[in-house]
Structure 1
Amino acid sequence: MENFTNLSAFPAMLFDSFDQNDHGFSTVVARVSYDLDIATGALTLCEDQGALVEQDVHYGEPGYSSVRFESDLAPYKPRLDVVINANAWAPEDKPTGSFTVGAQIGDTTRLLRINGPREWWKVVAGWRLAEPEPIQTLALRYEYASGGLYTLPDDNVIAAQENTTGMGWYPHEVRKHLKKERLPAPQIEWVTQPVKKIDEAGLAAGFGFYGRGWQGRIERAGTYDEDWKQHRHPFLPKDFRFDYWCGAHPLLQFPLPAPLSVVPVRLKCLISAREKADQEIRFQVPVESLFVFIMTQKGAGVAQDMALDTLVVDVPSRKVHCSYRTVMSELLEPVMTELRFIARDERAGQVARARQLNNDRESADFVPLPPSLLNLKEKGAHG
C-alpha cells in the first residue's frame, strides 16, 4: 500500500481491493458533514467532522433491524446513493388515517403513503385491509413496510426476500401457524405500489439504506456456488457487479453528479409543523472540490477528482453527510497519495495561483489542481 496523507479537515482512508477480474486497485474515501438549518436550507460545514463509518450502524439488533448508516468502506459506487433518515409527520400535525410524504432529488420525486395502525381481516374471499387508525407521526423505517422474518416451530425460517425487517407479510405457512383472523398490516407503502395482498411483500417502501441481502441488491453480489468455492474463493465471482455497493433504495440511486455542481433536495412532511409551518425543507448539496494528488513510481504527478457518491440526510440530527470516493488502478504504480480540498471561496484564487506558478519554469512551486478546476484554468488562459 502506498503512503497516504490527508491534507483536508475531513475523515478519510485509503484501502486496497480487487475487482471481479482480480485486478488490484486502491480506494480513497472521505466524508464531509454539514449542519442543516431547516428554516433557511443553509448547509454549514460541521466544526467536528467526526469519523468515517467503518461498520454498518443499525437502529436495533443487527440482522433484525434496518440500517441508519451504512459503512463508508465501499470500494466503488457507480451511482449516487441518496438516503433520508427521518420521521413522517401528518399535515399540520393533525392525526389522520393516512397521509403522503415525499422527497424530490433534482427532478425526481418519490412519494410514500403513511398509514396509521391497520390490520388484515380474514373474510370469505380471503384477506382484506381494514381502515387505518389515525396517526400523527411514524419513523420512516423499513420495520413498518411490508416484509418480515419468521421462525416456525420446526425451526424453519421464512423471510420476505425484499425486506426481512418488515411487517404485515404472511405467506401461507405463517398464517397456518398463527391461526388468526386479524393480523397487523404494513404502515408504509409506495404511493404508486400500494400493498394489496397479504402474501406479497413487493419492493420495500422507504428512504433508508437498503438491506445488503434483500432482493433488488443481493443479485448484484454475484454467484457463490460450488464452482466459485473450487475455483475463485476468496476472490469475487466473475459475475459480481460493483453497483452491489450502492446502498440506497433502488428508487433513490442517481447518476453521479458532475464536479462543482449541486444536488437540489426538497423534503415534505418529514418535520413537525411546530418546527416549520409548511413542513418543507429545501436545500442544495454542493459537490465540493475534493481530489487526490498521486505520485507514481515513475515520478509522474496525477490529480483525480473525487466523486460524491453517497448523500445521507439525517433529519433528526439536522446533519447532512456526504461521502466522496475515487479509485486508482495498481497499474498506475502509485507510491504517494495526498487528499486535498479547495473551499468554494478559494477556487478562483487557487486557479489563478496555479496559472501563475505552474507555467513559470523558474519557480520551484507547483499547485496541484483537479481536472475540474484545471478546465477552469485552461478556459481562463484562453479567455
Structure 2
Amino acid sequence: MYTNLTKYPGLGFRHHIHGNRLHHCLILQATYALVRRAGRWVLEPLEEQPALSMTDLFRPVMAAAGSGKPGSDARALAQASSLQRESELLPFKSHADVLINGDAIAPDGLAAANWLAGVRIGGWSKLLKVSGPRNWERDRHGKWRLSAPEAAERVPLLYEHAYGGTVASAQAGEVEACDENPCGIGYLGQITPESSEAVLPVPAIEYPDDATPAEPGRIQRVAGFGAIPMHWQPRARRLGTVDIDAIRRDGPAYPDDFDPAYWQTAPADQWLPYLARGQEVELFNLVEGEPKVAFALPRWLGFAAVRSGGSNRYPDMRVDTLAIDTLARTVRLNWRLAVADEVDRPDWIGMELAIPEVLYPDGEPVPPEPQPETQSGRWRAAMARDQGEERGA
C-alpha cells in the first residue's frame, strides 16, 4: 500500500492518533554531508544513506557504580544514560525538532574557562554556556565553595554534563533520580551529602542567564541540545493519565488527556514551525576550526500521492526534524505526514522528494509553499517519471 518513490529511506505504517482515529503515517529521511565548497558550506547527499532508526539508541553509562553511601553517584546502578540516536518511529510531530549532537568548541581552538555555543535558524536562536571542569568543594569548616573552572578546549554536549543525576539513597540498594535528567550531575534530591563527600562535580552545560549555585543540592534548569528519551519527565508527563483497567478491557489507546507534544524529541525551546526549503542555519562554536558555520537547508519538496477511488491528491510532507551531528559533519532531515483513513480511504500512497528545478524546468518561479491544486499536474508527471524509471530498472 505504501510506495517509496525515492532512493532515500522511507516508511509507511498505520497508527491510531488524534482521538485514536486510524491514520496512515509516512516518514522520509535524507542525510547530507556538511562540506565546504568554494568558500561556502553546503549540504551534499551521502552516497550511503543511513537507515531510519527504529528504536532508541542509548549511550554507554558514563559513571562508576559509586560507593553506595547516601549522595554517591548511582547512575551506573540505575543504568542512566542519554540518547545517542532517537527512534524515528513516531507517527506525527506538530512542530519541527532541532537536535544537535557533538561538542562545544572553544573559540579559536584555544582552551578557555567558559564560552557560549549555539544555533540560529531564521529569527530563532539558542545559546548555552559551557565551562571547563569545576567542583563544589567543602572547606575544613564544612562550608561549600564553588571552584573556578579549568580551561578546556571542548565540552561534549551530553546530558551527562548538565544538571541532573541519580544518587544513592539512605536505604541500601535504593536510588533517587532527577526526573528531568537522571544521567546528569549536581542533583542530590532529599540527600544531604555525608561529611566525607568533600568534592562534588558541577554541571558544565548551563543556560547563560542561570547563575551556578554556590553549593550543591540547588535545583537548576537542565540545559542541552540533544534528544530527550520518552521516559524522562519532560516527555513522560505529556503521555497523560494511563487507565490500566481501560487498556485491559478495550485494548491499547492513548489517554483522553494525551498531549501530542509527547512525540517531540527535542527540548521544548527547540521546537520550531515546520522548516522551510532553503532556510538558513548558523552554528556557533560547534564545528572544530570554524567559529561560525552557515548553510542553507535543501530546497527539496516532500509530498505524498494519495490514491483513493481512482482520484489522487498531493498533500505536502513537512520537515519536522533537523538533526545536526557536528562531529560527523552530517545533517539529517525527516519529512512526515499523517493521512486520516476515514477521510481518504486510500488504496495506495506514494512518497516523493523532488528538486524544484526538475518540477520547474523552464525557470518558472518556485512558489514559497506548494499549492497542490496548481502543482498536481507537475507532481503527477514527476511521479510517473520516477515510476517509469523504476519499471525500467
**TM-score of the aligned structures, taking structure 2 as reference length:** 0.82
> Aligned equivalents of 2:311 and 2:371: distance in 1?
19
Give the equivalent residue in structure 2 for 1:195.
212
The alpha-carbon distance between structure 1 residues 126 and 251, as it changes in their structure 2 partners (threshold 3 A), is: farther
Which shifted more, 147-156 or 57-66?
57-66
Q: Secondary structure at the match of 1:42?
A: strand
Deviations 1:245-275 (A, max 9, x none): 11011111111134xx3332111111223xx
Give the equivalent residue in structure 1 for 2:116.
100
User: Is the counterpart of residue 80 in structure 1 residue 96 in structure 2?
Assistant: yes
Give the equivalent residue in structure 2 for 1:286.
298
Deviations 1:318-357 (A, max 9, x none): 11000000011111211111112221321213998xxxxx
> Aligned equivalents of 1:16 and 1:126: distance in 2?
59
Give the equivalent residue in structure 2 for 1:300.
311
1:204-219 correspondence to structure 2 within 5 Å: 204-219=222-237
> Aligned equivalents of 2:14 and 2:150: distance in 1?
52
1:104-143 correspondence to structure 2 within 5 Å: 104-122=120-138, 127-143=144-160
> Aligned equivalents of 2:144 and 2:311: distance in 1?
68
**Candidates 328, 338, 359, aligned match of 2:339:** 328
> Aligned equivalents of 1:137 and 1:338: distance in 2?
45
> Aligned equivalents of 2:142 and 2:232: distance in 1?
31
Give the equivalent residue in structure 2 for 1:4.
2
The alpha-carbon distance between structure 1 residues 373 and 131, as it changes in their structure 2 partners (threshold 3 A), is: same
User: Is the counterpart of residue 57 in structure 1 residue 69 in structure 2?
Assistant: no
**Candidates 31, 34, 40, aligned match of 1:36:** 34
Q: Once the two structures are aligned, what percentage of the paired residues are identical?
A: 28
Give the conservation status (yes or no) of the 8 Å contact 2:102–2:326. yes
Paired AA for residue 161 in structure 1: D
> Aligned equivalents of 1:171 and 1:129: distance in 2?
19
The alpha-carbon distance between structure 1 residues 63 and 249, as it changes in their structure 2 partners (threshold 3 A), is: farther
Paired AA for residue 168 in structure 1: G
> Aligned equivalents of 2:345 and 2:333: distance in 1?
29
Give the conservation status (yes or no) of the 8 Å contact 1:169–1:198. yes
**Candidates 300, 304, 309, aligned match of 2:320:** 309
Deviation at 1:129, TM superposition (A): 2.0
> Aligned equivalents of 1:229 and 1:376: distance in 2?
44
Deviation at 1:125, TM superposition (A): 8.8
Deviations 1:77-110 (A, max 9, x none): 0000000112111112221221111211221221
Q: Secondary structure at the match of 1:305?
A: coil
Deviation at 1:117, TM superposition (A): 0.9
Deviation at 1:179, TM superposition (A): 3.9
User: Is the counterpart of residue 183 in structure 1 residue 200 in structure 2?
Assistant: yes
Deviation at 1:161, TM superposition (A): 1.4
> Aligned equivalents of 1:251 and 1:63: distance in 2?
27
Q: Secondary structure at the match of 1:216?
A: helix
The number of residue pairs the alignment matches comes to 351
Deviation at 1:43, TM superposition (A): 0.9
Give the equivalent residue in structure 2 for 1:361.
none
Q: Which runs of 5+ in 2 are unaligned?
A: 62-77, 378-393
**Candidates 232, 240, 243, aligned match of 2:258:** 240
User: Is the counterpart of residue 15 in structure 1 residue 13 in structure 2?
Assistant: yes
> Aligned equivalents of 1:346 and 1:336: distance in 2?
24
What's the C-alpha RMSD, in Å, of the aligned pairs?
A: 2.6
Deviation at 1:111, TM superposition (A): 1.3
Paired AA for residue 171 in structure 1: G
Paired AA for residue 142 in structure 1: Y
> Aligned equivalents of 1:226 and 1:200: distance in 2?
36
Give the conservation status (yes or no) of the 8 Å contact 1:220–1:241. yes
> Aligned equivalents of 2:229 and 2:79: distance in 1?
9
Q: Secondary structure at the match of 1:349?
A: coil
Give the conservation status (yes or no) of the 8 Å contact 2:178–2:189. no
**TM-score of the aligned structures, taking structure 1 as reference length:** 0.84
Deviation at 1:151, TM superposition (A): 3.7
Deviations 1:201-228 (A, max 9, x none): 4332111112322233222111125565
Q: Which runs of 5+ in 1 are unaligned?
A: 353-369, 379-383
Q: Secondary structure at the match of 1:143?
A: helix
Give the conservation status (yes or no) of the 8 Å contact 2:33–2:330. yes
